[in-house]
Amino acid sequence: MHPALLASDYPLLNLFWTIAEIFLWVLWFMLLFRVIGDIFTDDTLGGGTKAAWTIFVIIVPFLGIFVYLIARGRGMGERSLKRAQEQEEQFRAYVRESAGTSSHADELTRLAELKNRGDLTEEEYQRAKAKLLS
């Protein structure tokens, strides 16, 4: 008779299973934090609903996560995409504002050049100057 072979008889197999378990735990915690983050960043949920989902996810984590993913999983991606687009637009607006805006002195110089070349009348120049300085 052969004695039963155990996984502990193969150290490399033990290492593989340990790595697989660590990977699954890390994956689980990433999913847990993603769901909790989605609960708190969703503006369509009220405070009571957010509290209920959070309690459900914390008290019964496996069932809570799976129920949340089934009930609201599709919206998670849409909300994440919407937040990313809003952040991108805010960044682009900031860059446009920072890089594209010239000083009042530059604008006044440009207006004076236009007036000197005859492209602007004295009245148009004064109106543009007043608008710029206000």
Kindly state whether residues 92 and 108 are assigned to the same domain.
no
Kindly state whether residues 50 and 112 are assigned to the same domain.
no
Lowest mean pLDDT among 3-12, 19-28, 38-47, 55-64: 3-12
Closest CA to 38 of 63, 71, 60, 62: 71
pTM of the model: 0.58
**pLDDT tens-digit readout, 103-126:** 677 788 888 888 888 888 888 888
- The 3-class SS string of 90-117 reads HHHHHHHHHHHCCCHHHHHHHHHHHHHH
Give the structural domain span for 108.
102-134
Query: Which residues contact residue 84 at a Cβ distance below 8 angstroms, ignoring those fewer than 6 apart?
Result: none
Closest CA to 83 of 54, 43, 29: 43
In a domain, 33, yes or no: yes
Kindly state whether residues 90 and 25 are assigned to the same domain.
yes
Kindly state whether residues 28 and 74 are assigned to the same domain.
yes
Kindly state whether residues 27 and 37 are assigned to the same domain.
yes
